[in-house]
Amino acid sequence: MATVLTQLAPSITNLIRLDHTHVAATFHQYETTLSDRLKRGIVDSVCLSLETHAQLEEEIFYPVLRLVFDNDLMRKSPVEHDEMRTLIARLRQMVTTDPMFDESFFELMRLVMHHVADEESQLLPAAERLIPEQLQDMGARFAKRRFEMMASRGGEYAGSFARSLSPRMLMSTATTLLNGGFLMVRHGPMARPWTRRSAF
Ligand SMILES: [Fe+2]
Ligand SMILES: [Fe+2]
């Protein structure tokens, strides 16, 4: 069973790319004119995602890649994670009305985007070239470890996610859920016999 799950698992390089895409999308929601509540929610959500991602890379990805790809970029990547953690700690101490709050968040964004560009243009292709046979097994470990980490900080994830939604996004999420529920009732297992569509 474990082997089947490993074979179905996405590669670790694609999981890392997905994380990068997610955090970039959250960065792009941030505007200086947003309410304090939305700013706090977006910043908390970004910080938590980055902490989780950096720890996963350091536990699972970097040690294996370093064995076959040991260079300056490989050595500076954990250092950049530590710079990111310093900025995250500073942002958590600040109130959103602090005159330096926006600039500190944009500084984090610049650091992360630069780091992501290095990983996507050099580290991930190197892993795909040098250790292709290990990528799915590492992907399975990455996903399992992430689940454990999220379970231990579930309240923080739920809280920052809820606060990072604007009223427009909340409305869109609610509409999607309502539509999904309506379709389930209309066509799904809860549908009454006379409301089900004929297969013919
Ligand atoms: Fe990284
Ligand atoms: Fe990364």
Give per-residue pLDDT as tens, 43-79: 999 999 999 999 999 999 999 999 999 999 999 999 9
The ligand minimizing its distance to the Cα of 59 is 1
pLDDT of amino acid 93: 97
53 CA from centroid of ligand 2 (Å)? 6
pLDDT of amino acid 191: 39
If one compares 153 and 89, the residue with the highest pLDDT of the two is: 89
- Give the whole-angstrom CA distance, residue 16 versus residue 78: 15
pLDDT of amino acid 171: 52
Residue pair 149/60 in contact (Cβ under 8 Å)? The answer is: no
The ligand minimizing its distance to the Cα of 58 is 1
pLDDT of amino acid 24: 97
Reported as a pLDDT band with limits 50, 70 and 90, residue 156 is confident
- When mean pLDDT is compared across 14-28, 76-90, 124-138, 174-188, the lowest value belongs to 174-188
User: Exposed (0-12), middle (13-18) or buried (19+): which is 65, by Cβ within 10 Å?
Assistant: buried
What mean pLDDT comes out for the span 136-142? Answer: 97
Q: For the chain, give every domain's residue range.
A: 2-165, 167-200
pLDDT of amino acid 3: 59
Residue pair 78/53 in contact (Cβ under 8 Å)? The answer is: no
Q: To the nearest whole percent, how much of the chain has pLDDT over 70?
A: 75
The ligand minimizing its distance to the Cα of 15 is 2
Reported as a pLDDT band with limits 50, 70 and 90, residue 9 is confident
pLDDT of amino acid 155: 72
pLDDT of amino acid 196: 36
Is a pLDDT exceeding 60 seen at residue 184?
Answer: no
- Give the whole-angstrom CA distance, residue 74 versus residue 66: 7
Q: Mean of the per-residue pLDDT values for the chain? A: 84
101 CA from centroid of ligand 2 (Å)? 24
